[in-house]
């Protein structure tokens, strides 16, 4: 249609044929070469061919995310690209499909085709200029672009699509792809799933830069939020969600409009609900000056997310009890980050963290009355105080893939590993969270104190005195390096630094740390 | 289970049995008595019985919204309650079902049952205290509460559920309810759909207060954003999404974390894309000082949304061309709002607005070379300059239900009513938008100038000179009163007031309007 041609001609392709196409949200944000995604496709093709998991010529089919209506209305839910699709193609437009055909003789060991939605001319009025196929081809560095309604894989000698069940949600990936198109001569896709999860687990140089950016933006936003809470400490009308609004503003101003998971903006006793901040508990409690805040929020960029938790006193000054509990958790952070390196089993790190917490709470507050070995063998910390895992993989998903090696699963019977989403020997290039915590949840405390054996191993008076503290979590995003690890976020963590920063006695710049007040 | 009992006992029911239960996001936000929703149920029951649309005893089934996973991951998309469910029950918790049994002898002419999700004890650790049935009963003023897994309507002599196709999305409501439970002796639900849409169209006293609140918060947020844009006019790195971040922050600080539709945060030439600000065009253009901003953003409270558009110059000073175009659109606002009252047909208002725009652009800039009657009979404004409707119903959905009377539909063949979502005689209690606009979209301009007849009715040089202006929209949210109308938002609209406010020569307080600088 002539009208279509006109619309196509008006496209402003920001990156010419010579320039390196990139993703960016503007001048002050990170530029990401989109060639990164072609590298990911090459890695996948290499692995599939080298391990003989699929024959030459196999066409692997991927479905990108699409817009979904809010019930029967004409508005859409928030959009994020599907994570495997993002990893391999980095396409921000909804409604795309793609194929990778394995070909060891091709430049990148594969031939890629992107299938884009075909828009009616009304798109040019309502949504913006209709971008031609050539725009998508040069932007996303694929070999070919077709319209999604033209897709025809009937000539393929072998096809494949991802087949696996997400370990954290229990949702089969096939539900994402459900009944979309007919794939002839379809091969089993479970090995593809394993290969992709292992590839996504080890971040490459560009991905590390993205994670650094998401963590830096998140650090700045947390820092700003700490000061905002302090400044407003005497406002009796202050609500938990005000801190969330502050964080999201700071992130959005730097191109991170989305967060990788629902913001957890607790205060005081709500700190004890691990995933507070959902629709039934929308961070809507008013904040008291004496409350500890527990803020678990992470900015997302190019679909990669940070996941950072800060715990600090609204008043800028810890009480004695808050301080002892906080420093018990911080000791666990130091114990783990001090030794974290490739080759260690994260299950051991989890057990180490819970032991340190038990030791510290006993040394400082006399919490446990039984010997620490007995406390640990009964897994009391995992049962009652830290009923979640020490950490998880982090990347395109908040609870990212790769937490267990292919074919391995959570040991549900081992209470000492309660909720642990990362149970394997760790490798260089992993990005994972270290997030020990300690919560004083009345429900779990009642359960504990009514247990015939466990109730005798704790000083109940001390335990109940901790209920108003609510809970503490300290969460870092950590890159595993060749011989150790590097924390990607940068926020005051010691009691002294938190108090000094909040009260304005020092400043803090992510990447530089503590600096004198300007 | 004993564990469950304990969790239930720990629930803090904020509102006691004597107190009036309400929804609120805190001290500085609006308190909404939840009895409003019982009134809505009563109105529905009365209408169904009075019009004999269902026999006594009929059980009407409703499905509330539920959380949906982001693909196969364990995070959820943003949540909003389903609109019919919200209207009738006002329940913020996901995963509920409900029934209304028609009963003319009952206190509110019906008996209501809410079906809530049954949570495992792990909920008390991760999500918060498990609220007992009694909490839901006293909070939401229903006659009975059961667990959703207990629902059994097999004894019902007649059942019904909503059946209709959303006029704006084209999505059948049955897709929302798809295959959930077996409804015995099911009656046709299309009359129910019509009755509910008509009820939702006429806002009651409480709903008007909510709409006023959403509009007031949106006005304050727009005002703050106008100043922020002005203050930052010389920043070459300023991106369109920075204004969106500012608006969302101001809304979120007052309990409106959600917006009712994707924020449209255009600048300059992107103003010409009516629904800019979607995933493929995420408000990511850098803003030039000379750009007109077109910001279409509305805060949502208790699921009711505002929908307000401001157009203003980044620099705080309109150019001559921007001013003439802006005042042409403003004249259409005044022409419509000056006469809007019950009994008028909104289709006539739409035609009036397009005529005024044609007249003004010709008087001020000499745009049309043909007589205005000919311009109107060829619908040139609707075809090329304002390719959307003058306004739409507003409420729980942005494009709210009730835009056409039951059994009536858009006249797709009448080009002069292009895109009009509200085509009926209006009534007292309607809340609707008045949003004339004028856009200089290169795609449409090319189409216009190559049309054998229409091209001869316009001064092409003048038309093309307007392309850099991009586009203008002025959108008010208007309550239809007994003998006129009342604009619920309050923002400077004249060129003089916009410039004076942006430059800090006057202040503006929603509800009070223009005030001297403090």
Per the CB < 8 A criterion, the answer to whether B245 and A257 are in contact is yes
Strand order in the sheet with B264-267: B264-267, B292-297, B308-313
Mean pLDDT of B504-508: 98
A401 closest CA partner among A89, A83, A162: A83
Neighbours of A9 (CB within 10 A): 13
| CA dist., res. A493 & res. A514, Å (int) | 11
Mutation target among B443, B449, B464 for the A interface, most CBs of A within 10 A = B443
| CA dist., res. B439 & res. B461, Å (int) | 16
Higher pLDDT, B56 or A12: B56
| CA dist., res. A165 & res. A315, Å (int) | 45
Chain B residue whose CA is closest to A91: B280
| CA dist., res. B248 & res. B246, Å (int) | 6
Beta bridge partners of B160: B60
Chain B environment of A126 (Cβ under 8 Å) = 273-275
* Chain B interface includes A317 (CB < 8 A): no
Chain B residue whose CA is closest to A92: B280
| CA dist., res. B352 & res. B332, Å (int) | 8
| CA dist., res. B395 & res. B401, Å (int) | 8
Residue B496 in 3-state DSSP?
helix
Residues 356..375 of A with a Cβ closer than 8 Å to B: which? Answer: none
Tokens of B103: 């009963």
Q: Which CATH number fits domain A205-516: 3.30.1490.20, 3.20.20.220, 3.90.230.10, 3.40.50.300?
A: 3.90.230.10
pLDDT by residue for chain A (518 residues), tens only, comes to 233 333 333 334 444 445 799 999 998 899 999 999 999 999 999 999 999 999 999 999 999 999 999 999 999 999 999 999 999 999 999 999 999 999 999 999 999 999 999 999 999 999 999 999 999 999 999 999 999 999 999 999 999 999 999 999 999 998 886 666 889 999 999 999 999 999 999 999 999 999 999 999 999 999 999 999 999 999 989 999 999 999 999 999 999 999 999 999 999 999 999 999 999 999 999 999 999 999 999 999 999 999 999 999 999 999 999 999 999 999 999 999 999 999 999 999 999 999 999 999 999 999 999 999 999 999 999 999 999 999 999 999 999 999 999 989 888 889 999 889 999 999 999 999 999 999 999 999 999 999 999 999 999 999 999 999 999 999 999 999 999 999 999 999 999 999 999 999 999 999 999 999 98
A64 closest CA partner among B279, B79, B76: B279
Element (H, E) at A462: helix A460-465
The yes or no reply on domain A22-201 and CATH 3.30.70.1560 is: no
Element (H, E) at A473: strand A471-473
pTM summary value: 0.96
Chain A environment of B127 (Cβ under 8 Å) = 273, 275-276, 278, 280-281
Q: What is the mean pLDDT of chain B?
A: 94
The 3-state secondary structure of A219-288, one letter per residue: HHHHHHHHHHHHHCCCCCCCEHHHHHHHHHHHHHHCCCCCECCCCEEEEHHHHHCCCCCCCCCCCCCECC
Tokens of A246: 């502050």
Mean pLDDT of B93-102: 97
* Chain A interface includes B316 (CB < 8 A): no
Calculate the CA B160 to chain-centre distance: 28
Contact A244 B252 (CB under 8 A): yes
Contact A248 B246 (CB under 8 A): no
| CA dist., res. B60 & res. B53, Å (int) | 12
Chain A residue whose CA is closest to B442: A10
pLDDT at res. A203 = 98
Quote the percentage of chain B above a pLDDT of 70.
96
Q: Where are the domains of chain B?
A: 22-201, 205-516
Give the distance from residue B413's alpha carbon to the nearest chain A alpha carbon, in angstroms.
16
Chain A environment of B383 (Cβ under 8 Å) = none
Tell me the ipTM for this assembly.
0.95
Per the CB < 8 A criterion, the answer to whether A244 and A263 are in contact is yes
Is pLDDT at B227 greater than 70 in this prediction? yes
Contact A125 B273 (CB under 8 A): yes
Tell me the CA distances in angstroms from A379 to A34, A353, A415, A419, B501, one per residue in order. Answer: 46, 12, 6, 13, 63
Calculate the CA A3 to chain-centre distance: 43
Neighbours of B17 (CB within 10 A): 9
Q: How confident is the model at residue B18 (pLDDT cuts 50, 70, 90)?
A: low
Residue A345 in 3-state DSSP?
strand
Residues recorded for chain B: 518
Per the CB < 8 A criterion, the answer to whether B87 and B200 are in contact is yes
């Amino acid at each position: 249609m002539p009208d279509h041609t006109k619309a196509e001609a008006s496209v402003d392709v920001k990156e010419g044929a010579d320039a390196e196409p990139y993703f960016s949200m503007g001048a002050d944000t990170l530029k990401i070469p989109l060639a990164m995604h072609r590298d990911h496709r090459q890695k996948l093709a290499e692995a599939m061919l080298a391990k003989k998991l699929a024959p030459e010529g196999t066409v692997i089919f991927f479905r990108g995310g699409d817009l979904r209506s809010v019930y029967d209305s004409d508005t859409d839910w928030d959009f994020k690209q599907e994570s495997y699709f993002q990893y391999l193609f980095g396409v921000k437009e909804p409604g795309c499909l793609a194929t990778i055909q394995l070909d060891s003789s091709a430049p990148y060991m594969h031939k890629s085709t992107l299938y884009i939605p075909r828009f009616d001319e009304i798109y040019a009025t309502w949504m913006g200029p209709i971008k031609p196929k050539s725009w998508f081809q040069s932007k996303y560095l694929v070999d070919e672009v077709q319209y999604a309604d033209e897709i025809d894989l009937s000539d393929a000698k072998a096809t494949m699509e991802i087949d696996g069940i997400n370990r954290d949600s229990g949702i089969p990936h096939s539900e994402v792809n459900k009944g979309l198109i007919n794939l002839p001569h379809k091969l089993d896709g479970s090995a593809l799933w394993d290969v992709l999860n292992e590839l996504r687990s080890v971040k490459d140089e560009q991905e590390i830069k993205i994670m650094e950016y998401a963590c830096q933006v998140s650090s700045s936003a947390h820092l700003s939020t700490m000061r905002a809470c302090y400044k407003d400490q005497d406002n009796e009308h202050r609500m938990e969600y005000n801190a969330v609004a502050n964080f999201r503003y700071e992130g959005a101003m730097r191109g991170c409009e989305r967060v990788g998971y629902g913001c957890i903006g607790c205060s005081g006793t709500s700190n004890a609900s691990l995933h507070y901040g959902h629709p039934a508990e929308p961070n809507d409690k008013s904040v008291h000056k004496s409350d500890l805040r527990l803020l678990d929020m992470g900015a997302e960029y190019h679909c990669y997310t940070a996941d950072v938790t800060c715990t600090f006193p609204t008043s800028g000054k810890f009480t004695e009890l808050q301080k002892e509990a906080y420093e018990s958790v911080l000791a666990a952070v130091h114990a783990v980050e001090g030794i974290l390196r490739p080759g260690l089993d994260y299950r051991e790190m989890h057990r180490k963290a819970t032991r340190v917490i038990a030791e510290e709470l006993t040394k400082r507050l006399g919490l446990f009355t039984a010997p620490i070995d007995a406390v640990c063998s009964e897994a009391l910390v995992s049962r009652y105080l830290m009923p979640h895992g020490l950490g998880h993989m982090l990347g395109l998903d908040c609870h990212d893939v790769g937490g267990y090696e292919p074919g391995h699963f959570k040991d549900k019977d081992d209470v000492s590993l309660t909720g642990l989403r990362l149970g394997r020997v760790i490798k260089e290039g992993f990005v994972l969270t270290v997030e020990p915590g300690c919560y004083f949840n009345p429900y779990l405390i009642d359960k504990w104190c009514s247990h015939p054996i466990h109730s005798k191993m704790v000083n109940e008076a001390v335990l109940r005195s901790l209920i108003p503290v609510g809970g503490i979590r300290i969460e870092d995003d950590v890159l595993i390096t060749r011989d150790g690890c590097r924390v990607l976020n940068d926020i005051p963590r010691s009691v002294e630094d938190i108090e000094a920063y909040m009260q304005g006695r020092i400043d803090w710049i992510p990447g530089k740390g503590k600096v004198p007040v300007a």
